[in-house]
């Protein structure tokens, strides 16, 4: 039994918990700052500035080169991650937090499919069920946007941007998985803000808004919590397959719903709970299905 529990809760799971908690708190800070009119590109720039300083210090602490070995792929990870981050932040500031997080966490659908193509990871029956349930759950979440006179209508453009961010996250996770074979986790993390900072400043242009001391502190927290999430994610990808690591990360949805209800007073409609339940169920099938099958086969073999 202990071996079965170890399969369900592998060593890398605590990194996933750290990652999801960090990203949930980051999203809460982003939404809060955005409610004061701070532009998305400015939030991205602030987050990148904090992260690049922390990442640089961490790389130097390890006495390794900040540039890594596979520079083209590292820069690609930074660029794809930057585009995805901009989309995620826009969705977070224009959608209820629970719905924005649910849409973002469709990325395991893209991650699993991309892992089959680029990492040659086999797609199992449980993963197919996961993809099906996730798609049905996604439709349940966004369906009010297509219904006339819907009480909880979501803006279609924000939905599209959120899904684009999820697709970008899926690509970024695949690149991280590939880079983890040759690069130190701190170097991988460093390249993300290294690219995000100049890109976001260029896109921000003259739209900069000077934040007061309180908002400045919240912007610093955006960078801090993102760094916490990135650290957990990068280490999780070392110990879990791309599809499994992203499936476990659905824990962030729970954090997002709690924050949405208790802090932002956003009560998700019934369709959001239904969609979220389907998506989480798909993730659990993806994670637990092969483990149950393996354990069952082992017991049958022992009986024989």
What does the pLDDT look like over 185-226, one tens digit per residue?
A: 889 989 999 999 999 999 999 999 999 999 999 999 998 998
What is the rounded CA–CA span in Å between residue 266 and residue 144? 16
The whole-number pLDDT of residue 265 equals 87
What does the pLDDT look like over 113-138, one tens digit per residue?
A: 777 777 777 777 777 787 888 888 88
φ/ψ region of 193 (left if φ > 0, alpha if ψ in -120 to 50, else beta) reads alpha
Going by pLDDT thresholds of 50, 70 and 90, the confidence category of residue 152 is low
What is the rounded CA–CA span in Å between residue 130 and residue 287? 9
81 has a pLDDT exceeding 90: yes
- Whether the CB-CB separation of 155 and 145 falls below 8 Å is answered with yes
178 has a pLDDT exceeding 90: no
What is the rounded CA–CA span in Å between residue 155 and residue 142? 9
Domain boundaries, the chain: 2-303
Helix, strand, coil shares, percent, the chain, to 5: 80, 0, 20
The percent of residues above 70 in pLDDT, for the chain, comes to 82
The whole-number pLDDT of residue 33 equals 96
Residue with tokens 């071996």: 3
The whole-number pLDDT of residue 153 equals 64
The percent of residues above 90 in pLDDT, for the chain, comes to 39
Going by pLDDT thresholds of 50, 70 and 90, the confidence category of residue 1 is very low
Read off the tokens for 282: 């798909």
Q: Which of 101, 196, 116 is nearest to 154 (CA)?
A: 101
Mean pLDDT, residues 40-48: 95
What is the rounded CA–CA span in Å between residue 177 and residue 291? 22
150 has a pLDDT exceeding 70: no
What is the rounded CA–CA span in Å between residue 238 and residue 262? 34
Going by pLDDT thresholds of 50, 70 and 90, the confidence category of residue 4 is very low
259 has a pLDDT exceeding 60: yes
DSSP, collapsed to helix, strand or coil, labels residue 29 as: helix
Residue 250: C-alpha distances to residues 187, 194, 210 (Å)? 26, 27, 35
**Average pLDDT, rounded, for the chain:** 82
5 has a pLDDT exceeding 50: no
66-100 CB burial, b ≥16 within 10 A, e <16: bebebeebbebbbbbbbbbbbbbbbbbbbbbbbbb
- Whether the CB-CB separation of 219 and 46 falls below 8 Å is answered with yes
What is the rounded CA–CA span in Å between residue 298 and residue 290? 12
What is the rounded CA–CA span in Å between residue 41 and residue 47? 10
């Amino acid at each position: 039994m202990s071996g079965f529990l170890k399969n369900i809760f592998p060593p890398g799971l605590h990194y996933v918990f750290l990652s999801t908690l960090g990203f949930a708190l980051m999203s809460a800070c982003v939404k809060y700052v955005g409610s004061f009119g701070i532009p998305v590109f400015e939030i991205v720039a602030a987050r990148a500035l904090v992260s690049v300083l922390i990442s640089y210090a961490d790389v130097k602490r390890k006495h390794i080169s900040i540039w890594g070995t596979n520079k083209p792929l590292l820069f690609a990870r930074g660029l794809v991650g930057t585009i995805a981050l901009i989309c995620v932040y826009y969705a977070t500031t224009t959608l209820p937090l629970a719905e924005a997080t649910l849409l973002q966490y469709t990325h395991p659908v893209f991650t699993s499919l991309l892992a089959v193509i680029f990492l040659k990871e086999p797609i199992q029956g449980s993963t197919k069920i996961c993809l099906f349930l996730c798609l049905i759950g996604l439709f349940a979440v966004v369906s009010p946007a297509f219904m006339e006179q819907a009480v909880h209508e979501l803006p279609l453009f924000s939905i599209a941007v959120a899904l684009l961010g999820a697709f970008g996250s899926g690509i970024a996770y695949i690149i991280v998985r590939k880079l983890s074979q040759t690069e130190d986790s701190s170097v991988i993390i460093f390249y993300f803000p290294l690219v995000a900072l100049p890109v976001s400043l260029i896109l921000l242009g003259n739209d900069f808004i000077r934040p007061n001391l309180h908002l400045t502190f919240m912007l610093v927290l955006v960078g801090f919590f993102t760094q916490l999430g990135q650290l957990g994610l990068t280490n999780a990808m070392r110990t879990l397959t791309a599809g499994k690591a992203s499936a476990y990360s659905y824990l962030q949805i729970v954090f997002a719903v709690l924050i949405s209800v208790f802090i932002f007073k956003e009560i998700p409609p019934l369709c959001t709970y239904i969609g979220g339940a389907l998506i989480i169920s798909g993730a659990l099938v993806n994670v637990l299905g092969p483990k149950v099958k393996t354990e069952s086969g082992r017991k049958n073999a022992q009986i024989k």
